[in-house]
Structure 1
């Protein structure tokens, strides 16, 4: 990917009923959604030995649970499928089960995919500055990078949402007008539960919440997550690391410096069967802590307010220690999967101020990343 490629990242405003939001999504991003379906068909076949017919069968099980627990989001997925069909770009029909499969792809894969991601929340209190930083590098298959989109969603009676997402997926990484934001780290652990909501739907539900506490309460009411995942969630008052699973969640608190950082293994949730799977995850976690300590030491308490998106991209998210499994991830020549950092987002929430974020597509500091995109736009 070159910076020129990333200059064309779509920015969409979707509004209306759940079905209308989905219909607009499907129509406007139909080429990308069709490409995503092609990518994931092949990925399921290669990594999991699943044909798409089997994937759709499992998606049907998830559809029943989604209809029960989050019917509005299922309506949105129906709208996405109809929007793709209306675009008439493919002879192959796309229906709601295909879209459910995209939204439940982490769960259907049963933890058989390799990915990364490093996330950071930092509550900063310095002279003249009180703010909450929430940020991450999102690492995934290189082929997906060209399809990413920035989406704003307006719904009656709910906060406005801004997020970076994969086309066809209803919830991803971003924030809302109430200064509630989410990041995501994949965890490989068993079992999964088709009766609970896939993680991408929980991300969307969090983005419809008024606070961290409200999002956690909703997750508990819904029974938890269908698979093991980590959501780093924050609002103006602070952050929690939600180590979610079908067997229960553990919620991490900030350390003495107001920091929560996470990679791709559980730190405290011991309820699941989690064999070691990504050797670089503990290394990245320790490296993340080290960089934060270095910044605290260099800036001191008086200048911590200088920690912002630009500084974090330069010092934290562009770090290549232990490459290719670094905070800034590059494809590993010893693995078939070409996984790399596809975007970086740094969100900032502060009392009495509008929430905002800076996003770059590609690897921070590589010289090939996109320009900085502002959210809201």
Structure 2
């Protein structure tokens, strides 16, 4: 079965990979920049000049702190014929529209190989965002000059979202919101940080990148790496200036869009409410029997991601027509990762209406 998105495969140095990716997706990158320029105006009151100023600041920080990722992103701008400052701004879209989303999306889950039917470590998530974003997405596969391969879902012009690499390391993510969030000088956009995580070849290095990189947005990183004995999973709640962590309990972890560790910050989910307060717990219950039997399968993950408890703001999220148009969200894509087999699965969302297609790193 064919993937529901264009698969963009590129090789070379970071700059070469970026340029080839940008050239192959120039129209999509342009459309995505236009989408976010409108969103920045509508949700954050930022005009084009303000967006470019912020993008330039993000670019300086990325070049200083994560130069390989910055070289790739500069290459995307060159290849796509896009304005580099605008491209860095859309990679910092979470920082620039911080606080304007009242109910963040995404439900993620990870199960150790000791508790799956195949003995392979599984990660996955539903990615919930504005439905207009569906048309500006790709699956990006890169192989760099070191031989490290990465495959990831990506918004056109961005470098990463949920994905895995040839070292058997994978990441899923959930947007968080705290009172420390916001653009500031010296921080790296979280989508740039995500790419840097996927550029590492072991879990310890991934945590170093996540913890040491200055950031202006709060997010949850569900990290895993395949290894003998079932692999390892670590969940990091990364906020500006601090980090909390969760380990698998009874072989698995689930997460939604509120903090579950006692970090000394104000969780903005408390200000807005929403489905996050039950989605993570519901995901744990839905997987509990299969986990206890140590027989979790990809089909169990798929059933989880198609769940409608709390509809329409369910794990499988659907648009609520009562929401303001700018606030509407649904599951745009659903991702399933088998880290041992380096297998990447994806379904268009909402996943209750679509089948999953799979590809693997060579």
Q: What is the TM-score when the length of structure 2 is the normalising length?
A: 0.91
- Aligned counterpart for 1:340 among listed residues 315, 330, 352: 330
Q: How many residues align?
A: 351
2-structure distance, mates of 1:308, 1:7: 21
1-structure distance, mates of 2:258, 2:95: 16
After superposition, residues 183-332 of structure 1 pair within 5 angstroms as 183-191=172-180, 192=182, 193-222=184-213, 224-236=214-226, 237-255=231-249, 257-275=250-268, 276=270, 277-296=272-291, 301=293, 304-305=294-295, 307-314=296-303, 316-332=304-320
Quick check: 1:190–1:228 contact (8 Å CA) kept in 2?
Answer: no
Q: Secondary structure in 1 aligned to 2:30?
A: helix
What's 1:365 paired with? 352
Quick check: 1:309–1:358 contact (8 Å CA) kept in 2?
Answer: no
Q: Compute the displacement of 1:272 (Å).
A: 2.4
Q: Compute the displacement of 1:145 (Å).
A: 0.6
**Structure 1: tracts of 5 or more residues without a match:** 86-93
Deviations 1:40-70 (A, max 9, x none): 1111111222222212212222222111101
Q: Secondary structure in 2 aligned to 1:365?
A: helix
2-structure distance, mates of 1:199, 1:59: 13
1-structure distance, mates of 2:189, 2:154: 15
2-structure distance, mates of 1:313, 1:126: 16
Q: What is the TM-score when the length of structure 1 is the normalising length?
A: 0.87
1-structure distance, mates of 2:287, 2:104: 23
Q: Which moved more, 1:99-108 or 1:355-364?
A: 355-364
Quick check: 2:4–2:347 contact (8 Å CA) kept in 1?
Answer: no
Q: Secondary structure in 1 aligned to 2:282?
A: helix
Q: Compute the displacement of 1:158 (Å).
A: 5.2
Q: Compute the displacement of 1:269 (Å).
A: 4.5
Q: Which moved more, 1:271-280 or 1:36-45?
A: 271-280
Does 2:89 align with 1:101?
A: yes
Quick check: 1:158–1:208 contact (8 Å CA) kept in 2?
Answer: no
Quick check: 2:335–2:345 contact (8 Å CA) kept in 1?
Answer: yes
Deviations 1:139-191 (A, max 9, x none): 11101112211111111225210111111001221000111000110012232
Deviations 1:294-342 (A, max 9, x none): 434xxx53xx33x22233212x000011111110011122212231111
**Structure 2: tracts of 5 or more residues without a match:** none
1-structure distance, mates of 2:360, 2:265: 36
Quick check: 2:211–2:238 contact (8 Å CA) kept in 1?
Answer: no
Distance 1:254 1:128, change over 3 A: closer
